[in-house]
C-alpha cells in the first residue's frame, strides 16, 4: 500500500473515531438530559404528594379549630354574644390590616391601585360592588352572631351540623342572585337536609312529650338562620372574587367590628372582661377564629375543592361531637345522631356532585354519574 493510501486510511479511521466519540457524547448528553428530566419529574411528584398530605393536615386542623371556637363560646356563656363577637371580629380585622397595607404598597409600586373595583362610586358598577361588599359584611356579621346564640341553647355539635347545610342551599341563592343553573338534585338534597334538621329539633311527635323544648327550638332556629345567612354570604363572596382578597377581608372585618360595637353600646351590653383569665380566653377566641380561616385558605391552596369540602365537613362534625363529650360530657342522643347522619350525607352528596360537574366532559367518571347528579 502506498503512503498516500495509508494516510487516507488513517484519516478515515480518525474521522470515524471522532464521529463515534461525538455519538457517544450526544447519547451521554441525551442520557444526562433524560436522567435530569426523570429526577425533575420525581421531585415534582414528591412535592405534589407532600402538598396533598399538607392540604389534608390543614383541612383537618381547620375543622378542629372551627369546632374549638364553638366550645369556647359555649364555655363563656356568662358573656353576651356581642362581646364574644367583638373579639371574633378583631381576629378577622387586625391580621388583615397589615396584609392589605402591603398589597396597597405593592400595587402602588406597579402604578395601579387595589381600590379600582370600588372607586369612583359615580360609576354604577363600582357602586354596586360597594353595596355588595356592605352586604357581605352584614350577612357575615349576622351569620357569626346567630351561630353564637345557637350554641347558647343547643349542643355545639348540633349547631355545627345544622350550619354545615349552607353548602346545600348555596345553589338556590346563586340561582336567585347570580342566575346560575339549579337542577332537580339540589331540591332532593334540600329535602334530606330539612328532614335531618326536623329530627334534630326533637318535635313532640317523635319524642312523645306534650310540648316543644323551647331552648331546642330557639337554638335550632338561630342555627338555621346562620345557615341561610352563610349561604347568601358565599354568593356575595363569589360576586367579589375579582377584588383583592386582603381588601375584602379587612373591609368586612372592620365593618363587622363596627356593627358589633355600635349594637352592643345601643343595647347596653358592652362589657370589658375584669378577669385576666376571661380576657385571655376572649383573645384566644379571636386567634383561633383567625387561625381557622388561615388553615382553610392554606388547605385550599394544597388540595382540590372537592376532597377539601368532604374532609372539612366530616372533621367539623367529628371534632364537635368529640370535644363536647371530652369537655362538657355531652353524649349525643338518638335524634342528634340520626339528624347529623342525614344532614352530613346530604352535604357530602352535594360536594360529590360539584366535584363530578368540575370534571372534563369526556371523563369516564363524569359520564357514569351525569344522569344521577347533573339533572
State how many domains the chain has. Answer: 1
Query: Residues 45-67: pLDDT tens digits?
Result: 554 545 667 777 887 888 899 89
Do the beta carbons of residue 267 and residue 159 sit within 8 Å? no
Would you give the end-to-end CA distance of the chain in angstroms?
89
| pLDDT computed for residue 141 by the predictor | 95
Cis preceding linkage at 120, omega within 30: yes
| pLDDT computed for residue 102 by the predictor | 92
Residue 291 in this model has a pLDDT that exceeds 70? yes
Q: Is residue 31 part of a domain?
A: no
Which of 11-15, 40-44, 132-136, 261-265 has the highest average model confidence (pLDDT)?
261-265
How far apart are the C-alpha atoms of 100 and 248, rounded to whole Å?
9
Q: Is residue 237 part of a domain?
A: yes
Cell of 224: 338555621
Selection from 200, 198, 137, 189 nearest residue 165 by Cα:
189
How far apart are the C-alpha atoms of 179 and 72, rounded to whole Å?
39
Q: Is residue 272 part of a domain?
A: yes
Residue 21 in this model has a pLDDT that exceeds 50? no
Q: Which carries the bigger pLDDT value, residue 332 or residue 146?
A: 146
Cell of 277: 383569665
Query: Between helices 305-328 and 334-358, what is the axis angle to 10°?
Result: 160
How far apart are the C-alpha atoms of 59 and 89, rounded to whole Å?
22
Query: Residues 330-339: pLDDT tens digits?
Result: 888 899 999 8
| pLDDT computed for residue 363 by the predictor | 74
Query: Residues 159-217: pLDDT tens digits?
Result: 988 887 776 676 666 666 666 666 677 778 778 888 888 898 888 877 777 777 889 89
| pLDDT computed for residue 310 by the predictor | 60
Residue 270 in this model has a pLDDT that exceeds 80? yes
Selection from 61, 215, 247 nearest residue 137 by Cα:
247
Q: How far is CA 61 from CA 31, 54, 66, 134, 285, in A?
A: 44, 10, 9, 30, 15
* Mean of per-residue pLDDT scores for the chain: 78
| pLDDT computed for residue 47 by the predictor | 47
How far apart are the C-alpha atoms of 117 and 111, rounded to whole Å?
15
Q: Is residue 39 part of a domain?
A: no
Do the beta carbons of residue 146 and residue 226 sit within 8 Å? yes
Residue 82 phi, psi dihedral angles, 5° rounding: -70, -35
Q: Is residue 33 part of a domain?
A: no
Q: Is residue 26 part of a domain?
A: no
Residue 33 in this model has a pLDDT that exceeds 70? no
Percent with pLDDT over 70 in the chain: 74
Query: Residues 209-238: pLDDT tens digits?
Result: 777 788 989 999 999 999 888 878 877 877
User: Which residues form the domain of 69?
Assistant: 65-373
Q: Is residue 52 part of a domain?
A: no
Q: Is residue 119 part of a domain?
A: yes
Amino acid at each position: 500500500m502506498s503512503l498516500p493510501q495509508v494516510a487516507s486510511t488513517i484519516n478515515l479511521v480518525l474521522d470515524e473515531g471522532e464521529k463515534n466519540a461525538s455519538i457517544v457524547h450526544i447519547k451521554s448528553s441525551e442520557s444526562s438530559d433524560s436522567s435530569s428530566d426523570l429526577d425533575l419529574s420525581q421531585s415534582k411528584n414528591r412535592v405534589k404528594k407532600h402538598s396533598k398530605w399538607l392540604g389534608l393536615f390543614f383541612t383537618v386542623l381547620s375543622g378542629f379549630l372551627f369546632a374549638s371556637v364553638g366550645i369556647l363560646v359555649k364555655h363563656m356563656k356568662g358573656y353576651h354574644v356581642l362581646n364574644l363577637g367583638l373579639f371574633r371580629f378583631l381576629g378577622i380585622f387586625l391580621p388583615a390590616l397589615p396584609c392589605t397595607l402591603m398589597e396597597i404598597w405593592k400595587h402602588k409600586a406597579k402604578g395601579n391601585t387595589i381600590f379600582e373595583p370600588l372607586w369612583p362610586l359615580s360609576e354604577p358598577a363600582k357602586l354596586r360592588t360597594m353595596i355588595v361588599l356592605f352586604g357581605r359584611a352584614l350577612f357575615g356579621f349576622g351569620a357569626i352572631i346567630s351561630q353564637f346564640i345557637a350554641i347558647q341553647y343547643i349542643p355545639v355539635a348540633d349547631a355545627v351540623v345544622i350550619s354545615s347545610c349552607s353548602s346545600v342551599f348555596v345553589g338556590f341563592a346563586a340561582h336567585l342572585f347570580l342566575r346560575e343553573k339549579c337542577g332537580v338534585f339540589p331540591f332532593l338534597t334540600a329535602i334530606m337536609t330539612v328532614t335531618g334538621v326536623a329530627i334534630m329539633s326533637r318535635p313532640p311527635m317523635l319524642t312523645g312529650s306534650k310540648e316543644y323544648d323551647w331552648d331546642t327550638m330557639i337554638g335550632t332556629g338561630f342555627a338555621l338562620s346562620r345557615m341561610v345567612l352563610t349561604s347568601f354570604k358565599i354568593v356575595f363572596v363569589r360576586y367579589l372574587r375579582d377584588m383583592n382578597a386582603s381588601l375584602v377581608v379587612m373591609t368586612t372585618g372592620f365593618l363587622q367590628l363596627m356593627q358589633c360595637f355600635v349594637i352592643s353600646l345601643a343595647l347596653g351590653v358592652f362589657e370589658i372582661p375584669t378577669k385576666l383569665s376571661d380576657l385571655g380566653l376572649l383573645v384566644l377566641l379571636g386567634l383561633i377564629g383567625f387561625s381557622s380561616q388561615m388553615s382553610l385558605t392554606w388547605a385550599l391552596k394544597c388540595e382540590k375543592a372537592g376532597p377539601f369540602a368532604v374532609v372539612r365537613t366530616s372533621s367539623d362534625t367529628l371534632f364537635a361531637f368529640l370535644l363536647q363529650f371530652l369537655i362538657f360530657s355531652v353524649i349525643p342522643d338518638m335524634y342528634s345522631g340520626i339528624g347529623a347522619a342525614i344532614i352530613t350525607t346530604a352535604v357530602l352528596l352535594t360536594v360529590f356532585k360539584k366535584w363530578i360537574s368540575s370534571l372534563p366532559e369526556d371523563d369516564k367518571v363524569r359520564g357514569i354519574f351525569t344522569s344521577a347528579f347533573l339533572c
